[in-house]
Amino acid sequence: MHNVSPVTNRGSSDVDVPAQERAATTYKARLRQEEAMIIRWAQLWRTIALSAMEKTLFPYTRYIRALNLEDLEELLEDSKFKDKVSSMFFKGELSKYKVHTNGARGRLDAGSIANALGEIITTSTPMVEELSGKITNDSLLRWIPRVPRLRLLSPWYGGSLVGTGPLLRQHCHAFKNLSLWGWNHDDADQRFADFLNEINPQTLESLEIFSHSSVGPESFLALSCHRESLTELKLNSVNDIARKSLNMLAGCTNLTKLLLTDGSGRFIDLKNAHNDVFLETVAWLRNCKKLRAITIRDFPGGQDLITPILLENDIRLTHLELKGYVMADARDFHQALSNQPSLLELHLQGDSDEAGEGGPVLVESLSQLVNLTDLRLQDVSDYFTDEMIGRLARSLPKLEGWYTSGWGVTDAIWPDIARLQSLRRLDMAATSRFTAEGILDFILTLGPGNKGLVLAVMMGEVEYNLSDEEQTMIRDTIAACVDGRFEFQLQRDPDVSEFEADSD
């Protein structure tokens, strides 16, 4: 239900309020606006609960397709949910659901309240296809038979799944998407494997674990029961045991999206420490011929896992993200990038090569990726020069978003950047020496395809500071030409010497 709530993003009242409007609004008016939004949010959930109790004119709950109880918890925990708002919400039929964590003087027990109201709501939601929130195991065992159209389940804690597999198999034949925040328990791996074996085979299409968990080898083997259906696998904060068991996913070769992030904190390179597992994992990934998107973050030796995929002519990636690698050790990876001209989005972040030897190799490969629409280079481009940035601009005509660092970048890049007729965002995180004249000349060349362009100069050198008047002129010009926005920030405080800044 959070999709139709007037307040989303954990109840932030800044959502959908333009910056200019926020700046122009007085403090008291802002408070009234926030109060009005929290009231509407509370009224929405109160109406849903009353509808389930058949206390409303229309049976609203019967048309709910996505029920997100986490949104309800966020409402109850919001600092503005108090006094008259809280009294309004819990009056009448809902008064008995007002529970505190430590008696009447404690704060609201949002989790217990959400589960208690969920108990009522789910008795009249036959159309629900998505169910999410911090749902307890007892609640989930009762609710599953009530939601036969369920497709997506996100119960936050994996322990809530215990015993639900047979129920999903019997009542929810459309179930295919599962996401968990985490599951840390000694028997979590075995319990999750049991769950995967208990639901209908070859039905699970996507699995995402957002944080730390004890999921490992047994669960990976059990995923083979869904090897034909599983297309998306996202495993965050993979622990050491799970990392050494990735080869047990060998049967899951129909993947189109894969995400792996390391959570062990031990920084053990799989290739060097467990080469047999590394080779089997690489063989698995090379067999994933339908793979289109791969993300590997903070995974020691991640570039070594990805390089063989890049060299597979039968694999055509459209999205690639690699974070936390050492540029000096990634020459083969950088060279292999050129074998994937199908890439549309490429995000690279890693330790830069101070010797400067890796930069030209990376630029050479990137220049071959002519279909890129989004390019994000963090740290790996720290020593990019005007010519390197200019070459990329000349070679990648379809870019719509571009983030790059660099060293001593000047106005010389603007004529090449102006070739990018679809550019909508440029984040220049390079130490730069731009002038107001150079930036204005660039803006005046923009066309209809650049409408809404956000131009961010994030590390201007102090000697090339733009005056307030120049910044205002640039902002007014970009707004008038393409309805765009200009952001400017210096590399360091101009009132602090470079020596002082370095010592800090």
In sequence order, what are the residues at sequence separation of 6 or more whose Cβ sits closer than 8 angstroms to the Cβ of residue 138?
none
Question: What pLDDT score was predicted for residue 398?
Answer: 98
Amino acid symbol at 49: A
Q: What's the rounded mean pLDDT across residues 309-322?
A: 98
**Regarding predicted confidence, which is higher, 7 or 401?**
401
**Confidence band of 7 (pLDDT split at 50, 70, 90):** very low
370-374 average pLDDT score:
98
Helices 386-395 and 358-366: crossing angle, nearest 10°? Answer: 20
For 403-421, write each residue's pLDDT tens digit. 999 999 999 999 999 999 9
Distance linking the first and last C-alpha atoms of the chain: 48
How far is it, in rounded angstroms, from Cα 423 to Cα 397? Answer: 9
Separation CA 95–CA 215 (nearest Å):
40
Name residue, tokens 């650049």: 450
Mean pLDDT taken over the chain: 91
Tokens 């330790």 locate to: 351
Mean pLDDT score, 47-56: 96
Q: Is the pLDDT of residue 180 over 90?
A: yes
Q: Cα dihedral angle (55, 68, 176, 260), rounded to 10 degrees?
A: 180
Residue 209 has pLDDT above 70, yes or no: yes
Pairing of strands 152-157, 257-262: unpaired
Q: What is the mean pLDDT of residues 206-219?
A: 96
15 pLDDT higher than 80: no
For residue 264, name the pLDDT band (cuts at 50, 70, 90).
low
Residues 6+ apart with CB under 8 A from 10: 74
Angle subtended at Cα 257 by Cα 282 and Cα 71, rounded to the nearest 5 degrees: 135
Spatial neighbors of 472 by CB under 8 A, at least 6 apart, are none
Tokens for 488? Answer: 């400017």
What digits encode the pLDDT tens for the residues 468-483?
A: 999 999 999 999 999 9
- Is 307 in contact with 332 (CB distance < 8 Å)? yes
Report whether pLDDT(493) > 80. Answer: no
pLDDT at 27: 78
Which tens digit of pLDDT belongs to each residue from 436-468?
999 999 999 999 999 999 999 999 999 999 999
Q: Give the SS3 label for residue 216.
A: coil
* DSSP 3-state of 416: helix
User: What's residue 30's pLDDT?
Assistant: 82
Report the percentage of the chain scoring pLDDT > 70.
Answer: 91
Report d(CA 297, CA 295) in Å as an integer. Answer: 7
What local confidence, expressed as pLDDT, does residue 25 receive? 55
Separation CA 177–CA 257 (nearest Å): 14
pLDDT score, position 225? 97
Distant-in-sequence, close-in-space partners of 466: CB < 8 Å, separation ≥ 6: 434, 436, 460, 474, 488
Find out whether 89 and 80 touch, Cβ atoms under 8 Å.
no
What residues contact residue 403 under an 8 Å CB cut-off, 6+ apart? Answer: 375, 376, 377, 378, 427, 429
Q: Using the predicted structure, report yes or no on whether residue 77 has a pLDDT greater than 50.
A: yes
Question: Which range, 75-84, 235-244, 306-315, has the best average confidence (pLDDT)?
Answer: 306-315
Q: In 336-432, which ranges are E strands?
A: 345-351, 374-378, 401-404, 425-432
13 confidence band (pLDDT: 50, 70, 90): very low
Task: Flag whether pLDDT at 16 surpasses 80.
Answer: no
What pLDDT does 357 receive? 77
Q: State which amino acid sits at residue 178.
A: L
Of 105 and 89, the one with more pLDDT: 89
Buried b / exposed e over 21-52, threshold 16 CB at 10 Å, is eeeeeeeeeeeeebeebbbebbebbbebbbbb
pLDDT at 20 over 80: no
Q: Is 410 within 8 Å of 433 (Cβ atoms)?
A: yes
- Side chain identity at 257, as an amino acid letter? K
**CA–CA dist 453, 485 (Å, integer):** 6
pLDDT class for 265, splitting at 50, 70, 90?
A: low
DSSP string, 268-304: --HHHH-HHHHHHHHHHHHT-TT--EEEEES-TTHHH
29 neighbors 21 (Cβ within 8 angstroms): no
Q: Can you state the percent helix, strand and coil of the chain, rounding each to 5?
A: 45, 20, 35
Q: pLDDT at residue 383 above 60?
A: yes
**Residue range 249-274: average pLDDT?**
87
Reported as a pLDDT band with limits 50, 70 and 90, residue 273 is: confident
CA-based R_g, the chain, Å: 27
Q: Which residue has the higher pLDDT, 504 or 90?
A: 90
The Cα 209–Cα 36 span in angstroms is 36
Mean pLDDT over 46-55 rounds to: 96
